[in-house]
Amino acid sequence: MTAPTRWPLHPPPSIGEALSSWLTRIADAHQLRLDELLANNLGAYTFDVFDRTAGGLDVDPPRELLVAVEQRTGRDRDELWGMSIAGNFPWLLDDLEPSDDEDAFHTYVRQHQILLTARERPARLTSPWRAWLPREPLRRACPACVVGPAPVPGLTLVSQLPLTLSCPTHGCYLESAYGVLDTRIIWIDGNNAPRPAPPAVTAMDRRTADAFSIGTVRLPRRRVHAGIWFRILRTIIDELSTSVTQARTHAHILRDIWANIEQPIRGGMSIWRPFEMLDWTTQQRLLEATAAAITMIEDGAFRAPGMHSALFLPEPDGSVGDGHAPTNTQAEPIDYWKAVVDSFNEVVALALADPVQAELLYRFVSSGPGGADNARRMLADIGISEYASSQNQGKGCSRVLE
């Protein structure tokens, strides 16, 4: 049996490139369309890019396709797998298939609280749902990348999801393009001039790029796992989708955020729908509001009441004096209750991310009134179920690998 024939031309994938984009560039190098490359040049195996039941190149490519492409390019199939949504499971999402289970939505979106408390967020009844995947695939590109030195630009996987707004390299907005099977970029609105994105947007999107490329995100307090970052972003989006009536005493926070980007409350939504089911215009508004909210917390524009908002606050000043008495000897008043709340929020954030820390929190609460039963109830109420003394290990967790 002879070995499969290598394709003569197979340029390497760029950082973060989507599998469909890379294969499209390979097809273009051979003066073929993508559908022609995969239908006639994989030996006995064929892949129909128009078949919606085939899993999709960027969502869940079949193993047989990855093996065939590995044989013809020399790229490891695990690398190819990572260029798809499925290759980023379970960091990016909990399940590749839409779920009717109400808990699937709440497990992903409700593990964290940033802008609002848990009681201020209404229950959501969702139709079959999965995180971040839109109704129709997006096709967006960076105008600055398109005119760059690369002869054919690669489209990143993340730019095809409603998860970012800007190019992390050039800091300009990604622009929508028509979905074609060749490498031409045809802008939907005919505009190809780069539009600088606001600093808040570029800061958020660079963190998201880090989540995909290195698996962690640097926040003011500490680094967090990529899976935590994706879920925090989805949490803030859900909080920003809350009406001011439901937000109660913290409605002013939502008003301030939306006013900051000069958009109506909830991005103009009159009836709540899951973010993934919204039109792209409304999704853009929610992403811009999310970026503004993060920056406003970090800048101290307001004090977010959510127990995990401390992740966006700077570390307390730990500087050591030079041994001389300060010139101003009048002591600043200490807000002891704020210190207690901030410390508790940090402990909870650690416990949500680390079962060992969760066990320590459980033991501490168990030593107080109500004992072990009260401790289990309290931890369950704030979404902590993974710790040694838990009676319900594994239930309701996001399956994120820490």
Amino acid, res. 288: E
Confirm whether 51 is domain-assigned: yes
* Beta-ladder partners of 172: 196
Rounded distance between C-alpha atoms, residue 119 and residue 85, angstroms: 33
Confirm whether 111 is domain-assigned: no
- pLDDT at res. 152: 60
Same domain for 300 and 384, yes or no, is no
Same domain for 52 and 124, yes or no, is no
317-373 pLDDT tens trace: 666 555 555 555 444 455 556 666 666 777 787 778 778 788 888 888 877 777 888
Residue 340, C-beta contacts closer than 8 angstroms, at least 6 positions apart = none
How many C-beta neighbours within 10 Å does residue 117 have?
16
What average pLDDT does the segment 263-270 reach? Answer: 95
Q: Is-contact 138 160, C-beta < 8 A?
A: yes
Average pLDDT, the chain: 86
**End-to-end CA separation in angstroms for the chain:** 44
Given 312, 329, 345, which residue is the final one in a domain? Answer: 312
Confirm whether 56 is domain-assigned: yes
Given 67, 88, 109, which residue is the final one in a domain? Answer: 88
Rounded distance between C-alpha atoms, residue 178 and residue 195, angstroms: 19
Structure tokens at 38: 């995969």
Helix, strand, coil percentages, rounded to 5, for the chain: 45, 5, 50
Domains of the chain: total: 3
- pLDDT at res. 3: 65
Same domain for 262 and 123, yes or no, is yes
The most confident of 7-21, 139-153, 328-342, by mean pLDDT: 7-21
Residue 292 has pLDDT above 90, yes or no: yes
Same domain for 218 and 342, yes or no, is no
* Beta-ladder partners of 141: 175
Residue whose structure tokens are 């890019």:
49
22-77 pLDDT tens trace: 999 999 899 999 999 999 999 989 999 888 766 689 999 999 999 999 999 999 99
Distances (CA, A) of 302 to 118, 219, 297, 299, 396: 18, 18, 6, 8, 31
- Expressed as residue numbers, the domain containing 394 is 337-402
Distances (CA, A) of 89 to 36, 59, 85, 98, 399: 29, 10, 7, 14, 10
Confirm whether 318 is domain-assigned: no
Same domain for 123 and 34, yes or no, is no
Same domain for 258 and 215, yes or no, is yes
Rounded distance between C-alpha atoms, residue 222 and residue 315, angstroms: 9
* Beta-ladder partners of 129: 99
Same domain for 134 and 77, yes or no, is no
> Helix, strand or coil for residue 45?
coil
Q: Which helix (H) or strand (E) is 110 found in, with range?
A: none
Rounded distance between C-alpha atoms, residue 139 and residue 152, angstroms: 15
Confirm whether 393 is domain-assigned: yes
Q: Which helix (H) or strand (E) is 223 found in, with range?
A: strand 223-225
Residue-by-residue DSSP string for 230-266: HHHHHHHHHHHTS-HHHHGGGHHHHHHHHHHTT--GG
Structure tokens at 283: 């999704």
